[in-house]
Every structure is written in structure tokens, then in C-alpha cells.
Amino acid sequence: MTQNRTRSQEYVRPLNALGADDLAVAGGKGANLGVLAAAGLPVQPGFVVTTAASRTFTDDAAIREAIERLDSHDANDTDALAETAAEIRALVKARPADDAVDRAIDEALDGAADATYAVRSSATAEDLPTASFAGQHDTYLAVAADDIVDSVRDCVASLYTDRAVAYRARSGIAHSDVEMAVVVQEMVDADAAGVLFTADPETGKRTVATVDATYGLGDTVVAGEVRADHARVARDTGEILAYDVGEKATELRLSQDGTAAVEPSTDRRESRVLTDDQLRTLVDLGGRVEALFDVPQDIEWALVDDEFVLLQSRPITSLVSLPVPRPDDDRLHVYLSLGHGQAMTDAMPPLALDVWEAVYGEVLNGFTGVDRHWITRSEGRAYMDITPFLGLRRTRAGVVETIEAVNKSAAEGTERLLVERRDEFSIGLSLATLPNLLRTTTRVLPLITRLLWEGVAPFIRGSGGIDEFVAELDEWASAQSLALLDTDEPAALVDNVFTGFSPEFVAEVSPKSMRVVIGPLAGSVLERLVPGADTTTVEAAARGNEAEVGTRMTLALGDIADVARETPTVEQAILDGQSYEEIRATDGSEPFVEAFEAFIDEFGHRAVGEFDISRPRWRDDPSGPLGIVRGNLRGEEPGAHRTRLRARKREAQAAIDELDASAGRGLLGPIRRPLVRHLLRTYRSHIHLRDEPKHAIAYVFAAWHTALQQAGEHLVDEGVLDDPDDVWFLREDELRSLVADADAAVPDIAARKREHERHSRIDAPPLITSEGEIPQADRPDVDEHTLVGTGVSGGIVEGVARIVDDPATTTLRSGEILVCPSSDPAWTPLFATAAGLVTEVGGSLTHGALVAREYGLPAVASVTDATTAIRDGQRIRVDGDAGTVELLDDESQVEDVTPGD
């Protein structure tokens, strides 16, 4: 008898006997319900059929072998995953129930003879802060007592549904590491039910709760089968911010046969499910739940006899984490992504983030005379606190314009935020703040004066001094790089990196860099000065400039491909995907190597996503530019890059002639024409400078990378790290400690790599507040076949979409539309072939937009989830004027554009 009771306890556990430490026994749902029950919150009594019991349904050699096979499949091989998952489900469902499990469940049942039960899956990788698995596993309602064992078996089998397997594969969770428990509770005959989010999942705002509610059981809400009532409630005041009455076309009710769908009356459909007081009670209850778990919660609830019952609670995994460190005051703060400004939105490892925190922090604290955290981080991205600049009327407009250049939707959202919460951005001036304000003004005023002069002088002197400006930038960058690496001591290398840039240095260099805005300014003046001129004509006048960084890069790589074509053995080696060292060893490779090494000498300090200083530069890993050469060999004709350049030059000359002719018309023509000609020379000579400062500063980025990589190599030599690249998963203080003392504590590098992988799967916003809100524009009403972004280069083009994640591994055919996450200078060679451009991030002044206008490509940036919403090979229409992307065909019409063809 004692043995049977012990076995029952192993297979079944009451909810009120479970807690947060019982995840491995009760799964996520069961453990969370145990926490709620222990806290005295309203939870329907019940029990968990443990993972030990569920294991009896998978304790079979054939099932274990199939699960191992499932783990061996590539995460992207959906067919193989689905086939093996179906095999496992069939094997599990064919397994007989263990008698001991049957007895344990029977003993745990405590309902009336005619009671029915809810049987819910509770996997060990479910309802976690980083993976909710919402809707991935099966739930069964109104199950009779005699059928519970069969439903438990079906829940175990649902661990291997196609959707659950795909979810785990995407999340990097091994299938063999996950087990299933099952929650069993007596059914409640709910008057109403639904979902409560303790934070607004649409905006991310933590101070607003949202509620979806319908009559009857809530599974219709979870499954999206009804348009439920939707409410938004201010958590601090209880104010009902909005209440939208849904149509509630059907409601699910308990019946003698289980559940039945009932059609409510018109009056019932049009009436509110919850009163204001009920909403407040529910939101307060949600606040208590969130306090228990310390993260915003997604809560399923039911209303029974005017009392709320909690059915389950899990973290809202879709929320972007709050920026840290948290503000040290009670004010609202606004943070702007540094990566979005660089068109590089990927997550960065901890040490790379620490570098940016130190560099930006030192400069800004030096100028403002304060000591504050200017740089925060969220999901592996760096964000700048722009709050102080939003409090001053004269800087506010400039900040919004800067945001608009990065992301138009974010800028519109910021403007709305400034109107709705203007008082929270006011800066109180007092005698106490006056000294600091004067110090800041003293530092900044001379810089502003020099910036203004450098912004005016080029309009007077025209194109003079351009070559000297570029040479000075490159000389400065080379000197900085050499100084950074002028030591073999690891501690000194680390010091050199984290010294960053002094305010004095920035004050010296920034005015000179005003040259980069002269071209766009001259173009704006031309649009206003020349009768009938428009943006398209003025942009065309800038094309075909061989001095532009991206054009130099594209021409060099095209020339290298042509050199490779002259030696068939070299060309074939490149097409076969051989490494650079293998190609160097190929007979007759000398001309190719000479041309490629010249490219590396000029551009080897660059990289894809180079803002992330952990990434190897092209001189460290030449596979990037080599891949672009390979793509050129596959998809281009010899000399095509030079032919396109000549065509752009002709377009430019035609636009220049048109502007000149228009300027000469009318009574003011004789006066206006000389001025326009001078402006055109200024415009043409300066427009290519926009990427020169970035090209120069990339030398410093490369030196930072080399210095910290060498520190990592030192730690490997000391036996501290296993791989030099592990250095990027240290924090600055940890790196300094380990360099000073090899016996210092080493953090869990593997855990940080897993966290970095999780961050990499999250789409971080360009702007976020300290409350978690993501300011953005209201999206216009468009049909389901149209994606909305920001038009950054005018024109309309239709064509086949090519989804590209890495410019070094893809061949873009002439006339295809490039669809990519972002586009820094490393992507430029693909623009030469593309017919249009769509990016997930970016604005009017990011690199992709600038080059698209240079090449005359219709382009739309900031298209959310473009690389997943658009299918590879799908025909699309890109409207760079309206900022839309229209999906023109369905899946059956998608063209085969297998990479490498």
C-alpha cells in the first residue's frame, strides 16, 4: 500500500503542493499555477500529471530513437521535421497507459460523478520568460473522468505537433530536453472569460493593461474564433482608456456532450462583457500576479458567479525588455537605438555594448558636464538616452528630425508622445541648475559657431579643399589606429579601446565633418531655386560619381571579377567556393591576388554590420568580398559594372543640362543661372562625401576589434578562455580582472552565448521609453497584400523579390528587387544589379537610402518583417513615393530563385 501511495505521489501532484522550483516535474503551466495557488490567488483546484507519468508514454526504444533523429535534423528542414514528428505522435498514441498512472489519476479525482475536466498540456519548455509556446500544445475541455488518461496521452503526443517542433527548432531548444506534464482541473461553467495582459503588447507600455473578454468559455478568444471586447486600462489610476465592444458572434458553453457553440442574441452581442469595476478588479488581480513573477504576464481568466478565477499565467515573451540601467528618477525617459542609426540592428555581444557605452558616455558627459548613464541596453542593442534634448524647444525639433532620418514612424510616434506627455519633458531651471547650464553652454557654443561656419564656407569656396578633406580624414584615422595598437600589453590594449574619444577631439573633428551635409543642403537649395525642379531630377544630377565610397567598392569588386575571368582555373576556384588561401595557391592566380590585395588595402577595415566591433573585418576574414566577387561571376556579364556607371553619368549629365536650362529661363534667368551652376558644382563635388567619415572611422572600429581580439588570444594562452572569440562575451570589468589575474572568476560564457542567440531572434525597435512603450505612427489602413514603410528613393518598380541575409552568400540577378534586413556599405555591390530595394530598417539618410538614390532605385525602408512577409521569388511592386510594397502574387506563382543559380 505504501509503495502504491509513493508511486501515486510520483505520478500526480496537487496544484497547491507545487511551486516555482517544480518546472521539471509540473511543466511551466503547472508550476506557475502552483505559485498562484500558494499565494492565495483564485485558482481552480486540481492536480498535475507529472513528467514521470508522461514519461511512461514515451519509454520505448523506437520513440527514443525517433526523438534522437528529430534532434539531428536541420532546423530549416521542415519536411524532415514534420515527417519524424508525425512518426513520434503515432508511436505515442499507440502506447497503452501504465496501470499505476491510471490508478494515480483515478485517486486524484475529487469531483462529482458527472463532473468534467479541463486537461491542459504543461511542457517543461513552456510559459517561460524566453519561450511561451502559447498554442503549440493541445488542450482538451469538458473531458469525462474515464477519458482523462486518453487525453493525457494526447497531450504528451502534442509535444511533437508540427508547430511545437518548429517552434523549438527556431528557439534552439533540443527536442530531447523537453518533457510534458499535464494539468487537470474540474471545468468551470464560466459566465465570461478571456485574456489579460498586464502590459500593452501592441505598444509595449508597462503602465497600461489590456483585456480581451467574451461570454462563455475563453477558448474562443485564445483561438481567435471571435472578435472579443477589447479594453485598455491605466494600471496606476484604474482609468478605462478605451473599451471596444466586439461582435462576439458565438459563445462556447458547457453541455451534456462536452462543449457547444451557442449563438447569442443581438442585444447580448452588442453589450459589454465586463463593467468598469470588473475591469479594475481584474487588472488589480493581474498586478498581484505580475508582482509574484516580476515580469509582465499573459493571464487567462474566467468569471464565475461574479468572481474571477485564474486559469493560467505566463510571461509576455513578445515584449522588448526594459532598457537597463533603469533611470534613477521617476521621469519618463526616451531612448534611441544607436544601431538603427548605423543601419545595423543585429544584437551585439556584451563587450561590444560596453565599448559603445564607454565611448558615447565619455563624450556626452564631457560636453554636458554631468555624470549620467547616456547609453542603456535592451535585447543586446545599445540605446542613447535622448530625454534631455527633448526638454528644450530649440533642440527638440532637431532630435525629431534626426529620428525621422532613421525611422519616420518612430519620429511621428515621438511627436505624438511629446504632445500627449509634454509636461514630463520640461526641464526646470533654477539657481541650482544654472552653473551646469552655463558650463555646458561654454563648451558647446564654440563648437556650434565652428559648425555654422563650416556649413557656410563650402557654399562660398565651392569644390575647393575636397581632396584635402578626405586625405585628412584618412590620415587621422590611420594615426588613431596605429596609436591604439602600438603595444603588446593586453591591459594597455584594453585601456586604449575604452579611452574612446575625448570631448576636445570631437570638438576638433566635428566641424570639419560638416562637409558631409553640404551636398544634401545644396540639393535642397537647387530644388527651391530652379523653376520646375523636383527631387528626382536633383538626385539624378548627383549620379555617376566615381569618388563615392560605395561606387569605388563596387567598381573594384567588378574589376576583380573581370580579372578572375581571364584565368579560367581561378574563376572556377572562386565559383566552387574555395577559400582565399586555396585560390591564392591556384596556378595563374597572381593577377587576381594582386587586384584583391589592393582592394583589401583600401577596404579591408570594413565589414558587414561593422558597428558591431566583435565582427571580423574583411582583412581578417576576406570571405565577404570574395563572396561578392563570386556573385558577380555568376550573375554579371564582364564589364557590366562599368557600363552601368557610364549610364549613370549620362543620366547625371542630362539632369544637369535640364536644371541649367530651367535656371536660365525667365527674367531672372541671367542672374539665377550662374548661381545654379555654382550650386551644381558644389552639389556634385560634395554629395559623395556622405560616407567618407564613416569610411575613416571604420579604421578605428577595426583597431578596436583587433585590440580586444588580441586580449582574447592572450586569455586563451593563459588557459582562461577556450576560444579568442569568447572575449566578446565578457564585460569590461571582467576582462580587466582576467587580464590582471588569470585566476579571477570566469562567467558562464555558454549561458551568455545562448542569451545572445535569443537576443538575435528579437526585432528591436528604433525607439523605446523607460516604460517599455515603442513610439510609432498609426499605421495607415491598407489591405492585407500591402506592406507599409518609409519611401526613401522615389519611383515605382515591379519585379521578383530576392530575400538576402548576407550579401556575401547571395547572387542577385539583374532586375531582381533586393529585400534585406538592413544595408550598410558592405551591401552596396548588390545595389548595382538590383531593380529596387526594400529594407526592414533605415530612413532617408541611412546608407541604403543614399545609394538607392544614387543608383536611381525605387526604395522603401522600415518595412516591418519584410524578409518574412515577402517570400523569396514573389513578385512585388515597390512604390518609393508612397512608401509601400505590394505583394502581387500568391504562393503558387512564386518563381524559383534558388540562391547560386
| Alpha-carbon gap, residue 15 to 109, rounded angstroms | 13
* Residues paired with 324 in a beta bridge: 377
For residue 878, count CB atoms less than 10 angstroms from its CB and return exposed for 0-12, middle for 13-18, buried for 19 or more.
buried
Among the listed residues 175, 688, 705, 847, the single catalytic one is 847
| Alpha-carbon gap, residue 323 to 773, rounded angstroms | 11
Where do the H-state alpha helices sit in 407-534? Answer: 408-420, 434-461, 466-484, 490-499, 503-512, 515-529
Nearest to 101 by CA among 52, 173, 36: 52
Residues with Cβ within 8 Å of 346's Cβ and at least 6 positions away in sequence, in order, are 339, 609, 612, 760, 821
Nearest to 359 by CA among 613, 711, 2: 613
Q: What angle do CA 206, 361, 845 make, to 5 degrees?
A: 75
Provide φ and ψ at 14, rounded to 5°.
Answer: -65, 150
- Position of cell 505598444? 203
With b for 16 or more beta-carbon neighbours within 10 A and e for fewer, the 24-43 pattern comes to ebbbbbbbbbbbbbbeebeb
**Is the distance from CB of 512 to CB of 468 less than 8 angstroms?**
no
Nearest to 748 by CA among 294, 324, 350: 350
Nearest to 51 by CA among 142, 155, 136, 140: 155
Between the alpha carbon of residue 461 and those of residues 455, 467, 678, the distances in Å are 11, 14, 10
For residue 324, count CB atoms less than 10 angstroms from its CB and return exposed for 0-12, middle for 13-18, buried for 19 or more.
exposed
Q: How far, in whole angstroms, is CA 448 from its chain's centroid? A: 35
Residues with Cβ within 8 Å of 527's Cβ and at least 6 positions away in sequence, in order, are 533, 534, 535, 538
| Alpha-carbon gap, residue 170 to 179, rounded angstroms | 18
Residues with Cβ within 8 Å of 775's Cβ and at least 6 positions away in sequence, in order, are 334, 410, 413, 414, 416, 417, 767, 769
Nearest to 735 by CA among 325, 346, 350: 350
Q: Which three cell numbers stand for residue 260?
A: 457547444
Mark whether 847 is an active-site residue: yes
| Alpha-carbon gap, residue 714 to 693, rounded angstroms | 32
**Helix 78-93 × helix 61-72 angle, to 10°:** 160
Q: Which three cell numbers stand for residue 681?
A: 558644382
Catalytic residues: 847
